[in-house]
Structure 1
């Protein structure tokens, strides 16, 4: 156990002075530091931080400053509001700007306004979580658990503030977002409280802090001198110092268009809705219906050679066809069809260098033809992808990104009898995908979270379906970062 920095008597004294609202605010501010602490007991929170070596006198002064207990700053820590503000401006701040902003908004809202927010959020939260007496901070904590709110994901809160006519608070969020995009921040990189392990993050003393030095020199509490801590020299990785790109854990999605979206639909039931959806998401959509294997092969060659990939941040390919689990039959209806692995290989980093390091997404709806119904004739041999797609492209020889990285592969399989029973019906899988991406809030989730909900909706549909008509989804990916399908 790490040696404690703050005497227990001081923690006890502060805990006794705080009211319930102030305790809730402090717990919210520190929620990322001890994500495994499930109840809002401030004494237990501070004790846990202290025992793990994640608490200091500077950390305490920052927390009291954030909840505006300037009297406690003076009486218990021997410092003033102005001194803390000076240190916060000069040194590493341990409480994220996002959590400070949420606490400030919490203080600006009255009970009636919070009740209106809870009502507006009814479509996103269960009845159990919609208690009318909840505070704004409790609501935000629930939304964080559902991955609906995060430091870089505040549109839902903005919309709700707009609806209750708190445009002033909406503007504060917009200001925060602008500053986050332009800042070259050295504060810790935020992790969702459910994900944070935080081995290096602590409420540590800033180097050479005059406030801490004075407190350590002057303070003697219950016969114990406060422990003098040495300045901590933190590496760039530990401190969370970032490059000019603020969100280094997410793919860049800023090009116009965001990317090429290739749709090949050999069934014909889903093209229109897919085209509408991905155009709305700022993709340049290329649609093809009822292709033969040879025509499909030519299409892949043509799309992979497009120079526009150089200026785009992503690529999407959607295939809808009868086939086997490993291939698609197109309109030829002959075995073995067009291998799905060959489709993927057209767009890997070595075959299409302009897409190296960029996310490449594949959504495949396969209507599986049973083996005893597949025609035994083999197809005319088509050129594979032996020749790399290098015409008019520049290979990044020194790039360390593996060619097979950044691929998202989602394949849904269902028996071909689904088409025989209802020839004009759309795919449940593709219908749910477009519904999620058309929802203004759902589509702003990370792609993996969207796919989890897609799984849930499809399997809910399966519960009421005949076993032979049920869909199964396979997801494989080599994504290295979070992916959001909107400009960011």
Structure 2
């Protein structure tokens, strides 16, 4: 049987992109997988797993023995850790002082768990102590996670097979920290360019990124709705990693006019809604990327939007998850002065997404560079000022991996 090996370049890319906290999580999750390597860093860990054929091309762990109930317990501890703030961890350390000596207040929750394991006070079938402590600090929600885990483990022991939640947990690995696009094509990229100056460069760039590109120029509002509806209903999404949509049009701050050029236009919030939740179940849990260039027509009322940015400190996943929403606004007068001019935002976006060095960086980090360039452009060209904003509910760092 041929054992698959992921390329060393991918391991190097992963190592570079993990920050200190993410490295700690990786090492914690894999403590039982490489017991013969007592002191390893992330590179040694991934290399060892790769050598043993336990990494797949998409970066998840593969072929784990189902002492993976222990692995599942580690994932449970990571999930609990993500739900605790520093004050709560400090309270847990205080509550555990009767069981442990010389516990430093600076320890994080995973460090506490490791110390408890060394004293045989916690294991996959021995979680009562942590459960009681969570109850003492009034984190009933996290206590319920442990109870659910126990129930599913009991189902396993009674011959009920591996419950769905635990099946997911056994694949919890690099992909829990990063989202690395690997499929070819990566997904559908829908481009609706109602100005017509940037279609070619956008099409070439997203094809280079291995998207299946669908281009439409000069669409009316009804035609655009039809295109959105058709693409959202496609079953092909289930075979892809993500979805991308690029919109270029005149409009107001929160709507687009297409070729109709009439107020109030079509709400950008409704564009997003075609591809989330029940509207497009094949894309549930997958990144949905939106890049919008709006040429703002003055004198229109500004609608409100409900999409909010979620940072790493959020304790729960928002209802509208996995959205990346990049929106550049510039006054429509730029088109009146130069009707055939390209969007500086879109030109920079196309360049950065395809640049070999940038493709080793996460999409979030690329957008920081993009924002810096747009800001500098606006400073030098005050008559062509761009306003660029990013709102996202991504739960992982997203990479459009080079091939």
Contact 2:180 2:400 in 1 (8 A): no
Give per-residue Cα distances to partners, 1:84-138, cap 9 Å, x unaligned: xxx996467343241x58xxxxxxxxxxxxxxxxxxxxxxxxxxxxxxxxxxxxx
Report the CA distance shift for 1:177/1:345 in structure 2 as closer, same or farther (over 3 A): farther
Q: TM-score, normalised on structure 1?
A: 0.50
Residue 420 of structure 1 is matched in structure 2 by 336
Residue 283 of structure 1 is matched in structure 2 by 211
Report the CA distance shift for 1:177/1:429 in structure 2 as closer, same or farther (over 3 A): farther
Among 223, 229, 252, which residue is 1:301 paired with? 229
Residue 244 of structure 2 is matched in structure 1 by 316
C-alpha separation in 1, matches of 2:194 and 2:324: 22
Deviation at 1:431, TM superposition (A): 1.0
C-alpha separation in 2, matches of 1:407 and 1:330: 23
Q: Does 1:370 align with 2:298?
A: yes
Deviation at 1:465, TM superposition (A): 1.1
Q: Does 1:472 align with 2:387?
A: yes
SS of corresponding position for 2:391: strand
Report the CA distance shift for 1:197/1:305 in structure 2 as closer, same or farther (over 3 A): farther
C-alpha separation in 1, matches of 2:292 and 2:51: 39
C-alpha separation in 1, matches of 2:239 and 2:114: 44
Give per-residue Cα distances to partners, 1:133-188, cap 9 Å, x unaligned: xxxxxxxxxxxxxxxxxx7xxxxxxxxxxxxxxxxxxxx89966975445659699
Contact 2:356 2:402 in 1 (8 A): no
Residue 257 of structure 2 is matched in structure 1 by 329
C-alpha separation in 1, matches of 2:229 and 2:197: 25
Structure 2 residues without counterparts, runs of 5 or longer? 1-18, 24-31, 79-105, 131-167, 302-315
Contact 2:191 2:246 in 1 (8 A): yes
Report the CA distance shift for 1:90/1:484 in structure 2 as closer, same or farther (over 3 A): closer
C-alpha separation in 2, matches of 1:444 and 1:337: 38
Correspondence list, 1:11-22, <5 A: none
Deviation at 1:487, TM superposition (A): 7.3
Deviation at 1:402, TM superposition (A): 6.3
* Paired residues, number: 280
Name the Cα RMSD after superposition.
Answer: 3.9
Report the CA distance shift for 1:296/1:198 in structure 2 as closer, same or farther (over 3 A): same
Report the CA distance shift for 1:436/1:197 in structure 2 as closer, same or farther (over 3 A): farther
SS of corresponding position for 1:201: helix
Residue 434 of structure 1 is matched in structure 2 by 350
Correspondence list, 1:10-409, <5 A: 32=20, 90=35, 93-98=38-43, 100=44, 180-181=55-56, 184=64, 198-201=108-111, 230-231=119-120, 233=122, 243-247=170-174, 248-251=176-179, 253-371=181-299, 404-409=320-325
C-alpha separation in 2, matches of 1:364 and 1:453: 17
Deviation at 1:407, TM superposition (A): 1.1
Report the CA distance shift for 1:348/1:487 in structure 2 as closer, same or farther (over 3 A): farther
Contact 1:356 1:403 in 2 (8 A): no
Q: TM-score, normalised on structure 2?
A: 0.60
C-alpha separation in 2, matches of 1:454 and 1:260: 23
Deviation at 1:435, TM superposition (A): 1.0
Structure 1 residues without counterparts, runs of 5 or longer? 1-30, 36-86, 102-150, 152-171, 190-195, 208-228, 375-399
